[in-house]
Amino acid sequence: MDFLGYARKDGGVGTRNDVGILSTVICANEVAERIARQVSGTTSFLHHQGCCQTPVDINRVTDVLIGLGKNPNLAAVLLVSLGCESTNVGRVAKSIAATGKPVEIVTIQEGGGAAKAVAKGILLAQAMVTAASELKRELFPICKLVLGLKCGSSDTTSGLSSNPVVGILSDLIVKAGGTSILGEVTEFIGAEHLLARHAKDQETADAIFSLVNQMENRAMQMGFDIRGGQPTGGNIKGGLTTIEEKSLGAIAKAGSAKIQAVYEYGVRPDVEGLVVMNSPGREPELLTGLAAAGATLITFTTGRGAPQGFPFVPVIKVTGNEKTWDNLKDHMDFNVSSVIDGSESLADAGNRLLDEVVRVASGKKTKAEISGYTSSMDIYMVGPVI
Amino acid sequence: MKQDAILITSLDNVATALRDMEAGQACHFLKGEQAVSVVVQDAIVYGHKFAVVDILKGADIIKYGEVMGRATADIPRGAHAHVQNIESLRGRGDLKHKGGT
């Protein structure tokens, strides 16, 4: 099965052809956003990090921005810098440029302030869009897809229908030679023994247990029951009772493929197949981590109806809750409530979802792209803001 | 048979309602291939669970054939099984202070 994507010089294949306006620090967000708003064909990535952080987090911001910039869905990158941030802007630019992608930097402090930086950025971005618009989509096999897996605003239908259907999809893409990235380590708690059985070897299984222990210990150290945090208040209203129940439903979206490797947050997999990425469950940080790891399309299952997309990666919303499908048509892309009422098998729904993935990878817009509900993004930090 | 609830595996002691149920209603579902029914003791909203057998305080709650928590009170067959009578066993930093496990 093939999709129509954009060939990149480093061998990656994009499902979109945007010019990315990436803010390198929270203080540069507004300039990045103003440039993106004024140039059609651009998209801004904004976040709240990049300064007054410990070195481990500053390095992570730098690495995540590199990962985002390298994502094959971006044809070119404009970095918007304040000029005094801790993020290593030079390293970000150099690393992205190494993929053969055009990269430019506008710096607010050196450039005479926000208005001048916006004006310069607009001109640079316009030139980048002009060049990018000449690229044409070409046919590629689905092994060139990098699929990100996400569930959010889950209810009990997520574990019964939408997550198992995405599990079938993930298996189909992995079987074809593609890559699928599973995150949300918080939602392994209580189901990690099942996931570890899918690990390709003991070392990978141990790495999964280790991630879960770290995540659970972080929650335990706060001295509270994590309920209300996980599962969230919304999950509990939707019928989920414990983190174990949520996890048992959540891991279904990993399907049955062997887990090939475990990676740190935002790190691009260097193997094909199903992989695990260290990450929390919250939408902005997880979606950013998947995009930085190179996901070119994300499936996002939801029971109660989460609206978030991502600035330059299409996010397909899959629900098994017929009430949510009826009530939130503006945000939902794909309905699998047929699995719950018994009118469709999991396998049939999984194949139907693969067809939708190919359509979206080839250019069909998702509801999140159409509604522009894509700006609540952030980078997952391990230490304090200081 | 159109099911009112779903029991994911035959090992499970809770089932999930697939429509809003009123207290006293008979709820029909499959246990394996066998059709069974449970009269629900409470109103159960779509997506919430009820006990399919009498569950004693302290017993494991089983869904997907796996342990998903523990009963904090006796949960009679048909009663709403949720946060008021089930606790998680994981991520429980609060238990350290109470000296429990």
Residues sharing a CB contact under 8 Å with residue A346, sequence separation 6 or more, in sequence order: A164, A165, A168, A339
Q: Are the Cβ atoms of A303 and B47 closer than 8 angstroms?
A: yes
CA A16 to chain centre: 14
Q: What is the pLDDT of residues A51-69, one digit of tens each?
A: 999 999 999 999 999 999 9
Average pLDDT score, chain A: 96
Residues A288-301, mean pLDDT to the nearest whole number: 98
Q: Are strands A74-81 and A138-141 parallel, antiparallel or unpaired?
A: unpaired
Residue A323 reports pLDDT greater than 50: yes
Which pLDDT belongs to residue B101?
45
Residues A328-341, mean pLDDT to the nearest whole number: 95
Which pLDDT belongs to residue A341?
85
Closest partner CB to A156 (pick from B16, B83, B93) = B16
Residues of B with CB below 8 A from A156's CB? Answer: 16, 47-49
The pTM for the full model equals 0.95
Q: What is the pLDDT of residues A270-294, one digit of tens each?
A: 999 999 999 999 999 999 999 999 9
Residues A261-271, mean pLDDT to the nearest whole number: 97
Which pLDDT belongs to residue A361?
98
Which pLDDT belongs to residue B97?
56
CA distance A184 to A375: 20
CA distance B17 to B15: 7
Residue A378 reports pLDDT greater than 50: yes
Closest CA–CA distance from residue A285 to any residue of chain B (Å): 21
Nearest Cα neighbor of A61 from A284, A266, A218 is A266
Residues A349-373, mean pLDDT to the nearest whole number: 98
Q: What is the pLDDT of residues B41-59, one digit of tens each?
A: 999 999 999 999 999 999 9
Which pLDDT belongs to residue A29?
98
Residue B61 reports pLDDT greater than 70: yes
Residue A223 reports pLDDT greater than 90: no
Residue A151 reports pLDDT greater than 80: yes
Q: Are the Cβ atoms of A160 and B16 closer than 8 angstroms?
A: yes
Q: Are the Cβ atoms of B90 and A190 closer than 8 angstroms?
A: yes
Which pLDDT belongs to residue A230?
78
SS3 A187: helix
Q: Are the Cβ atoms of A194 and B66 closer than 8 angstroms?
A: yes
Which pLDDT belongs to residue B100?
47
User: What was the ipTM of the complex prediction?
Assistant: 0.94
Residue A218 reports pLDDT greater than 90: no
CA distances to A90, A189, A271, A364, B60 from A209, rounded to whole Å, are 37, 9, 20, 38, 22
Residues of A with CB below 8 A from B68's CB? Answer: 190, 241-242, 244-245, 248
CA distance A163 to A255: 9
Residues of B with CB below 8 A from A322's CB? Answer: none
A91, with CB counted inside 10 A (0-12, 13-18, 19+), is middle
Residues A146-155, mean pLDDT to the nearest whole number: 95
Residues A31-42, mean pLDDT to the nearest whole number: 98
Q: Are the Cβ atoms of A227 and B81 closer than 8 angstroms?
A: no
Which of B8, B90, B92 would best serve as a mutation to test chain A binding (most A beta carbons within 10 A)? Answer: B90
Which pLDDT belongs to residue B98?
57
DSSP strand E in A204-301: where?
Answer: 259-263, 273-277, 297-301
Which pLDDT belongs to residue A229?
77
A222 — pLDDT class (breaks 50, 70, 90): confident
Q: What is the pLDDT of residues A83-130, one digit of tens each?
A: 999 999 999 999 999 999 999 999 999 999 999 999 999 999 999 999
